[in-house]
Chains A and B, each alone.
Chain A
Amino acid sequence: MGSTLKQTPFYTVHKEKNARFAPFAGWEMPIQYPSGAIAEHRHVRAHLGVFDTSHMGRFELRGKDVVSFLDYAVSSDILTLAENASRYGLLCREDGGIIDDVFVYRLQDHFLVVVNASNLEKDYRHLDALRKDFDVQLLDRSTETVMLAIQGPEAIPFLDTVGSAPLSGTPRFGAAYLKIDGVDVVVGRTGYTGEDGVELFFGSESALQVWNYLFVEAEKHGTDLQPIGLAARDSLRFEPGFPLYGHELSEDITPLEARLKWACEFDRNFVGRDALRKRFDSADPRKLATIVLRDRGVPREGCAVHDPSDGSEIGLVVTGMYAPSVDAYAANVYLDSTFNKVGTMLEIDIRGKRKAAEVIKRPLYTPSYR
C-alpha cells in the first residue's frame, strides 16, 4: 500500500526522529514527531523549526520572454519583481478559477516557481501549454532539488551562524546565495508560518548532509532546532490566514472570493483577468471568512454553517481546527456575503449539534514580521 507513495530524500532522517507518517499529495510525509503537533506549533512560534517541504514542485524558467511570460501566467506583478526577490501569485483559468497558488522567485539567471505538490503535473501542463507563444524554457527541477523551510524567531540568527554570509541584510521576500557546509544553497526569506524565517533550495544529493549539519550546528550553538510535521504546518499557516490549495482555494473559487485581490495586478493582462474584472461590479455571493466558536467544539472541513435566525444554510467550513496560538476553535468558511460582517453570529453544525460561532477580523494571528 505504502509502496506507491513517494518519499523525499529526507525520509530516513524523519524515521530516525521517530516521525509518524501520513500520505499527502502522493507523498509519504511526516505528519508529526514525538513531541506532538501542538508542541511543534508552539516551538515554531517561540523558537525554531525545520520543515521538509521537498514534496512541493519547483520549476525553473528561462528564456528571452520569461519575464513577460510569467507576468501573463501569474496574477501578480512579475514585471517589476527585482532580481533576488520573490512574490506570491496565482495561476488562474480564463474564467478566473484558481489553478494553484505559487511563489515566484527572480534569481540571478532564472526564475524559480514553487507550486503545490498536489498540483505539480497540472501546473506543468498548464504552463507548458501557455508558453507556446513565448520564448521560454520550462524545466521541472523537483526531483534533483530539495527544499527545507526554517521558521521561527531564531531563524535568522541561526542562519547567520551556519551560512557563509549574514542574512540579516536580506529583506522579507528577498533571496540570497549561501554555502552551508560547503553546499550551494539558494535562500528565500520566505515561509508559510507567520514567523520570520527562510526557505532553502539545494541539490538533492546534499539533502542529508545539510540536514545533519543544521542539527549539529544547532546543538553546538545551544539552539533548540526541532523538526516540524505537516499537522503543525497546517495550523501555523491557518492562524495567519494563509490559504491552502484544496481547502481555501480551488478551480471553482476565484481570487476575489478567496480575498486574494491583493495578489492580482489588474493593470496588466494575466490569464483570468478579464473574467475577474467583470465580477468587480457585482458582489460575490460568497466570500472567505474566519470564524471563532463561542461554544466548544472542533469545526472540521465540510461542516455546514447556518443562519441562527432561520436555520438556513449559509456556508461551509473549508479548514477548521483548534488554533494553539490563540487558544480557540476556529475555521475558515465560504460564507454567504451578507453574513461576512465582523461580529456576525452564526451557527455551525458539528455532528448534528448547532454550536455558536462569530465572524472575526482576519487574521487570527498577525505575522511576527508584519
Chain B
Amino acid sequence: MNFDKDARYLESHEWAKKDGELVACGVSDYAQDSLGDIVFVELPELGSSFNKGDAFGVVESVKAASDVYMPISGEIVEINGDLEDSPETVNSDPFGAGWLIKVKPSNPDELEALLSADDYKRFTDGLDS
C-alpha cells in the first residue's frame, strides 16, 4: 500500500497535493484498493466551485458508486478527461495519472490542516484491524 508523502489526506480517503498555484486531488491507494476495479468516474463541470467536504464527483467500482469529497475549497479548473476512456488508471496510478481534479484554492491554508501521509496511514491501519 502506497502513501504519497507529498500529499495530504481526508479520512474519506481523498488526497490533495500542491501543483504550482493549483491543488491536484484524487483518491488514495487505500481507497482504490478497497473499491476494487474502477469502471467509471463522474467529474464536476469546469468552473464550478465547492467547499471543503462537498461531494464533487463519483467513483464507480464493479459493485458500487462512491461519492468523492473536496479536500479543499475552491474552483474546479481542470478535470482529468483521460479517465473517461481509462477509469482503471485510478487503480493503477492513484497519485499520478489517476488524479481527478485540479482546484484553484479559495483558502490555501486548508491544505495544511489535512492529515499528513503518516497520520493518514495510521488512520487506515486502525480501519483494517
Contacts and interface: CB of A to CB of B under 8 A. Distances in A.
Contacts of B65: 298, 300, 351
Interface in B43-72: 58, 60, 62-63, 65
Contacts of B63: 31, 37, 231
A297 B40 contact: yes
A333 to B, nearest CB: 18
Nearest to B67: A351
Contacts, number: 39
A38 B62 contact: yes
Given A32-B36, A36-B36, A296-B84, A235 B42 contact: no
Counting chain A CB atoms within 10 Å of each CB, which of B36, B58, B65, B88 scores highest?
B36
Contacts of B88: 38
A276 B91 CA distance: 48
A2 to B, nearest CB: 15
A321 B62 CA distance: 7
B62 A351 contact: no
Interface string A38-59: 1100000000000000000000
Given A300-B65, A321-B62, A36 B39 contact: no
B40 A329 contact: yes
Interface residues of A, number: 17
Given A231-B63, A296-B84, A300-B65, A38 B37 contact: yes
B83 to A, nearest CB: 10
Interface in B70-129: 84, 88, 91
A88 interface: no
B62 A235 contact: yes
B40 A296 contact: yes
Contacts of A298: 39-40, 60, 65
A321 B39 CA distance: 9
Interface residues of B, number: 13
B115 to A, nearest CB: 25
A322 interface: yes
Contacts of B42: 297, 351
A231 B40 contact: no
Nearest to B58: A351
Given A31-B63, A296-B84, A322 B58 contact: no
Interface string A223-258: 000000001000100000000000000000000000
A231 B35 CA distance: 12
Contacts of A20: 36
B36 A322 contact: no
A238 to B, nearest CB: 11
B47 to A, nearest CB: 18
B61 to A, nearest CB: 8
A37 B36 contact: yes
Counting chain B CB atoms within 10 Å of each CB, which of A20, A32, A38, A297 scores highest?
A38
Interface in A331-361: 351
A31 B91 CA distance: 18
A37 B37 CA distance: 7
A155 to B, nearest CB: 24
A32 B91 CA distance: 15
Nearest to A329: B40
Interface in A283-299: 296-298
Contacts of A36: 36-37, 91
A36 B60 CA distance: 14
A318 to B, nearest CB: 16
Contacts of A321: 39, 62
Nearest to A235: B62
A351 B66 CA distance: 12
Interface in A1-50: 20, 31-32, 36-39
Interface in A305-326: 321-322
Contacts of B91: 36
A302 B128 CA distance: 31
Give the top 9 A-B pairs by smallest Cβ distance, nearest first: A322-B39, A37-B62, A38-B37, A298-B60, A36-B37, A298-B40, A231-B62, A37-B37, A36-B36
9 contacts: A32-B62, A37-B63, A296-B40, A297-B40, A298-B39, A298-B60, A321-B39, A322-B40, A351-B58
